[in-house]
Structure 1
Amino acid sequence: MSSPFAAPPGSPVRRRRPSWAGRNYTLLTSAAVVTNLGSHGATIAAAFAVLEAGGSGGDVGLVAAARTLPLVLFLLIGGAIADRLPRHRVMVAANTLNCVSQAGFAVLVLAGDPQLWQMMLLTALCGTGTAFFNPAAEGMLLSTVSGEHANRAFALFRMAMNGAGIGGAALGGAMIAVMGPGWVLAVDAAAFAIAGALRAFLDVSHVNDRAPGGGLLADLREGWVEVRTRPWLWSIVLQFSVVVAVVGAADAVYGPLVARDHLGGPAPWGLALAFFGVGTIAGAFLMMAWKPRRLLLVGTLCVFPLALPSAGLAVPLPVWGLCVVMFVSGAAIEVFGVNWMTTMHQEIPEEKFSRVSAYDWFGSVSMLPLATTLAGPAESAFGRSTALWGSAALVVLVTALVLLVPDVRRMTRAPHTKTTTPTFPTPTPSTPTPSSPTPSSPTNSSPAGV
C-alpha cells in the first residue's frame, strides 16, 4: 500500500527532511519545541514570582511540590487512558488545561499581591495536565518509530526539544529581570495554546481502533506486569525516583536562592540552565551517530555527572564554572535519555507504551514533592551547602547500586530495533520521549525516559 504522503508517480521528489521523518513526527517535534520555549522560562518565573511576593525558600518548595504532587496522583490513570483513547486527543486536552492554568497564574502575578495558596492551586492544575500529557506524548512518539533509524530519530527529537530549552531558559531569565515573572508565565500559556493546536492536526485517519480492555484496573495491572518482570526497568525507575527528587529540589529551590544571593539574580541562573540545554544538544548530536552496543550500561554511567550541578551550587561556583558543570551534566543525561528511549522502544510492546511510560514517570517523580517540600526545612536544619552536597552524594550512591543489576550491564542493542506497527502513519519506512520525558531530564523533573 502506498503512503498517503507519497509524491505522484514521475514527479520530482524534494527532500526537506529525512525520509523517516513523517508529518506526524514533524508536528510532534514542532509542538515540543514550542512548549519547551515557554516552559523553561516559566519554571524560573514561578520561583521568582514566589520570591517577589515575599515568599521564602520553603514557599518556593511548596509551589514546586504543588506541581509535582498531581503527577504522582494521576500519572497511572493518565497512562491507562492514553492506551485506551486516541493519544493525540489526550495530549490536546492536557495542553488546554496547561494553557488555562498558566494564563491564570500570569494574571494573578501581573495583578499584584498573589497569595501562596493561589499560586499552589494554579500550579497544581498545570501539574494535573502534565500527568495526563506525559504518558500519551511518550507513547505517541515511541509508536511512530520503527527500524534502524530509531536511535537517530529519538536523538533528533530530543535535540530539537532541548535546543528550544536553551532559548527558553536564557530568554526567560532575561525577561524576568526586565519585565517580571508574570509576562514569562503569559508566554508559557500562549506556547501551550500553539502546541495544542499543532497536535490537533496529527493525521489519525489510518489509526486502528484499540481492542476493548478489561477495565482501568486491569489495564494498570498489565502495565505493572511489564514493569516488575523487567529488572532493568524497575531498578532504573527506582534510581530515578531518588535522582529526580534531589536534582529537582536543588534546581527548583536552591538554584534560584543561590542565584539571588551569590550570582546576581535570575539572569545568571537562566544562563546556567541554558548551558545545560546546550549540553543536551551536544549529547543528542553525539547520539545521532553513536550507537553503543550496551545501551543501559553506557546510559547509567552517564547519570553520574548529574551530581555536578548540586556540587557546583554547594561551593558555590562562579557563573562560568556553574555553566561548565551544567553543560557536562546536560550532555551526559542526553546520552542516557536516547539509550533509554531506544531500550524502551526495543523491549516494550507498542500497545503498552503509555502504561509503562506512566509507571516510569510515576516512579521517577514519586519522591519529588517530598523533596521540594523538605528542601527549605533541610536548608534551615543543615545549611544550604550541606544539603546540596548530600544531594550530590545520593546521585552517586543510587547510580552505583544500579550497576549491580546484571540486566543493566548486559542489555544489548538488537541488530535492528524492532519494527512496530505505527499508531500514526509516516511516509516510507516508518520511524520518528520524557522523559522525558518529553524529554527532557531530571533537571526538569522528568522521568528516566524523557
Structure 2
Amino acid sequence: MLRDTAFLRLWAGTVASGLATWALPFVLGLAVLDGSLTAAGLGLVLAVRTAGFLAAVPVAGVLADRYSRRRVVGWAGAASALASPAIALGLDGSVAVMAAAAAVVGVGQGACRPAFQALTREVVDEPRRQQANAAMTLAVRVTTLLGPGLTALLATVTGTVPLLVGTGLLWLAAAALPPRGAAAPTAPPRRDPFHTEFLDGLREARRHPWFLAGLGALTAVIATGYSATGVLLPEASREHYGTEAVLAAALTGYTAGALAGALLMARWRPRAQGWAALAGLACYGFAPLSLLAPAHPAVVVAAYVVAGVGVELFNVPWFTAAQREVDPSRLARVSSLDFLLSYGLAPVGLALIAPAADALGAPTVLGVCALVCFLAPAAAALAPGARHFSRRPPAQGGRE
C-alpha cells in the first residue's frame, strides 16, 4: 500500500480532513480558556457545525453517486477551506459570523464523508481494501493520540487564530490531494428528483439485511454507551477517585486500544468476519460497566482499552464490507445513511444521558447502557448475512 501513489494521495487527503474535523473544537476550546470566546459561544458554533454536517450528508450521498466522487470531495474541501479563516475572523468580534462559517465547515465535512467512502472503492482494489481502511483509521487514531499535546504546544507559540487558519489549510489539502477514481460514475442522460434518488439508496440498503442490522447496533451503541461514558466518565473520575487523572488515562487507553485494533485488522481476516466485528462492537459495553461502582483505576483503563480495540475490530470490516457488497452506483448514498444515523443520533444520546442520570441515578443508566451495548450487536448477529457481512455464501467470494 505504501508504494501505491494513488492510495497515498487518498490516505493523505482523508487524514487531512479528519485532522481538520478533530482540531476545530479543540482549538475553539483553547479560545475559551484564553477568554476570546465564551462557553456559550463555543456551544453555539459547534452545534451549528453539527447541523451543517447532518444537513449535508444525505445531499452529498446523492451528489457523490451522480457525479465524480473526486469532484465532490474537491468542492466540499474547498468550501471548508474558505470558511475556516472566517471562523478566526469572527473570534474577537461576532459569534454570528463564526456560527455561519462553522455551518459551511460542517457542510463540507458532511459532504466529504460519503464521497471518501465511495472513492476508496474506486482507488483501491478489493484484496487490499481492508488494509487500506485499517491504514486510514490508524492515522486518525495517531492524530487523536498526539494531536492535543501538539496543538496545545503550538497555541502557546502562535495563538488560536493561526491554528484556525491552519485548519483551513488542512481542508485545502483534503480538497487537492485525493486522486481521480478509476471507475468514477458516468452521469446518465436523465436525473430523477433528489428524493427519489435518496430513496433508491435506502432501497439498496434494504437489500443487505446485515447492513441494516449492523447499523442499528452501531447506532444503539453510540447513542447509549458512547454517550454515557462521554457524559458520566468525568463525573465518575472526580467522585470515585478524586482526580481527573483517571479520565485522561481512560481516554488515552481507548485511543491506544483503537490503534492496536487497527493494526490487527490490517492483517487479520477472521473466518466469520461479521460476527467477529459485531463481537468487537459489543466490547464497548465494558466501558460503562467499569463505571458502575468504584474499582481500581486499572480496571477502568483496561475496559477502555478493550473498548478501543473492539471499535476498530468493527469499523474496518464494516467499511470494507460496504465497499464490497453495495452496488457501486449507490455506495455514497448507503454510506450517507450510515453516517446520518450513527452520528446524527449521538447528540440525542448526549443530551438525554445527564437528565436520565439525575432522575434514575448514574449506576442505573450505566447498567442499561452496558446492557444495550452487549445485546444490540448480539441481535444484529442473527440477521441474514451477518456472519460474513455478505448476502453471498463464502464459497462465492462473500468474504475476503
Q: Which TM-score applies when normalising by structure 2?
A: 0.80
Counterpart for residue 196 of structure 1: 172
Question: Does 1:168 pair with 2:122?
Answer: no
Q: Which amino acid aligns with 2:111?
A: F
Q: 1:300 Cα shift?
A: 0.5
Instruction: Name the structure where helix makes up a greater proportion of residues.
Output: 2
Tell me, in whole angstroms, the C-alpha distance in 1 between the residues paired with 2:347 and 2:210: 25
Question: Does 1:74 pair with 2:67?
Answer: no
Counterpart for residue 406 of structure 1: 384
2:134, 2:263 within 8 Å by CA — same for their partners in 1? yes
Tell me, in whole angstroms, the C-alpha distance in 2 between the residues paired with 1:382 and 1:45: 35
1:61, 1:374 within 8 Å by CA — same for their partners in 2? no
Counterpart for residue 258 of structure 2: 280
Q: 1:250 Cα shift?
A: 3.5
Counterpart for residue 221 of structure 2: 243
Counterpart for residue 311 of structure 2: 333
Tell me, in whole angstroms, the C-alpha distance in 2 between the residues paired with 1:260 and 1:96: 42
Q: Deviations over 1:196-232 (max 9, x none)?
A: 3254144439665613253223321321111112211
Q: 1:233 Cα shift?
A: 1.0
Counterpart for residue 321 of structure 2: 343
Tell me, in whole angstroms, the C-alpha distance in 2 between the residues paired with 1:258 and 1:41: 26
Out of 54, 62, 73, the residue aligned to residue 91 of structure 1 is: 73
Q: 1:86 Cα shift?
A: 2.2
Tell me, in whole angstroms, the C-alpha distance in 2 between the residues paired with 1:269 and 1:100: 36
Out of 209, 214, 223, the residue aligned to residue 191 of structure 2 is: 214
Question: Does 1:374 pair with 2:356?
Answer: no
Residues 1:170 and 1:260: Cα distance change in structure 2 (over 3 Å): farther
1:64, 1:252 within 8 Å by CA — same for their partners in 2? no
Residues 1:411 and 1:205: Cα distance change in structure 2 (over 3 Å): closer
How many residues align? The count is: 392
1:35, 1:195 within 8 Å by CA — same for their partners in 2? yes
1:346, 1:417 within 8 Å by CA — same for their partners in 2? no
Matches within 5 A, 1:290-329: 290-313=268-291, 315=293, 321-329=299-307
Out of 232-241 and 268-277, give the one that drifted further.
268-277
Q: Deviations over 1:344-387 (max 9, x none)?
A: 12211222211111111122233223222333433443344543
Tell me, in whole angstroms, the C-alpha distance in 2 between the residues paired with 1:54 and 1:204: 42
Q: Secondary structure at the match of 1:168?
A: helix
Matches within 5 A, 1:350-369: 350-369=328-347
Counterpart for residue 13 of structure 1: none
Q: Deviations over 1:278-316 (max 9, x none)?
A: 222211221222111222111101111112333345546
Q: Which amino acid aligns with 2:144?
A: G
Q: Which TM-score applies when normalising by structure 1?
A: 0.72
Q: Which amino acid aligns with 1:75?
A: V
Q: 1:105 Cα shift?
A: 4.7
Q: Secondary structure at the match of 2:386?
A: helix
Residues 1:330 and 1:407: Cα distance change in structure 2 (over 3 Å): same
Residues 1:170 and 1:236: Cα distance change in structure 2 (over 3 Å): farther
The gaps in structure 2 that reach 5 residues or longer are none
Counterpart for residue 26 of structure 1: 8
Q: Secondary structure at the match of 1:293?
A: coil
1:150, 1:417 within 8 Å by CA — same for their partners in 2? no
1:39, 1:188 within 8 Å by CA — same for their partners in 2? no
